[in-house]
Amino acid sequence: MVRAPCCEKMGMKKGPWTPEEDQVLIDYIQRYGHGNWRALPKQAGLLRCGKSCRLRWINYLRPDLKRGNFSKEEEDTIIRLHEVLGNRWSAIAARLPGRTDNEIKNVWHTHLKKRVKQNPATPDTIRQSMKIDECNEHVEIDSNPLKLSTHQLFQRPGCIPLSPQQQSSSDLSSSGTDSSIVTTSEYLNRPMKDDQSVDDDENVWWEELSAEKQANLEYSEANPADTQLQFPSSSLVYRPHNDESMDFWLNLYMEAGEWPELPEL
DNA sequence: AAAGGTCGCAACCGCGGGAAT
DNA sequence: AATTCCCGCGGTTGCGACCTT
């Protein structure tokens, strides 16, 4: 059964909000909060659906919104984050205080997309990323939608190197020109021996690979920043196993303006 | 000055995921 | 376990403002 959109209810108003409606919504939320968006309009006396109220509050009425034009720094930040995160506007907005995902999406489509297209070399990150790609073993080319955030992140450090032991023990067929280099994709697609079960779900392989390698990683739960310094070897596979560690890498990237190099022993 | 085209922004829509039942 | 509900997200649209001819 398909649920009817909430706004199709008779009597629900659509279109631009009036100042009076805005004030009703502000007054209500300031007094009672917004625990249940669906119930809110009825309780507040608004002829709007909950979805419309939520959108209006989040994108326009929230007191912590910055408003006004984006600064050059904010635009650069969006470009860099977009390169890493793609169209994940809410994730980008989470790193730009006072800005909404809708606002960022609009500014991307109206200004920044053109800017990047006209001058693709302008964001230094592109060059920097290429530089990193060149100096490391290989670039992760796998794309798994379910792991997109992690994968996109690590397409830049990209370089998720496999240990030499891993390469020699997994009986890999090398399709590349350099047999000492194995991408994660090649690992995941490696031919199976008879006694190895083949799982169609790449996620499983990916998870197994990660779990296997995380065991060798001295990861500090208490202080993720320590993790960077605790690679037993730069040839180990590492994958952030939660959002916190992903944020750690992303913050490093944002602060430094480039991806940190994996430490060598 | 007017008509047509383009831009920018606010709002809507449909979908997916997680929580609740 | 299945269904329903709600929220949040990303893509898209509508329309007023501005620009060009």
- Give per-residue pLDDT as tens, A25-36: 999 999 888 888
**Domain A12-61 belongs in CATH node 1.10.10.60:** yes
Lookup: nucleotide whose C1' is closest to A111 CA: B8
Q: How confident is the model over A118-137, as pLDDT tens digits?
A: 766 443 443 343 333 333 32
Question: Which bases of chain B come closer than 7 Å to a protein CB?
Answer: 7-14
The top-level CATH class assigned to A72-122 is: mainly alpha
pLDDT for the residue A176:
30
pLDDT bucket at A82, cuts 50 / 70 / 90: confident
Between the CA of A115 and the C1' of C5, what is the distance in angstroms? 42
Diameter over CA atoms, chain A: 72
Residues of chain A with CATH 1.10.10.60: 12-61, 72-122
Closest CA to A62 of A13, A14, A20, A25: A25
Residue A122 to residue A58: CA distance in whole angstroms: 32
Between the CA of A44 and the C1' of B6, what is the distance in angstroms? 39
A5 CB closer than 7 A to any strand B atom = yes
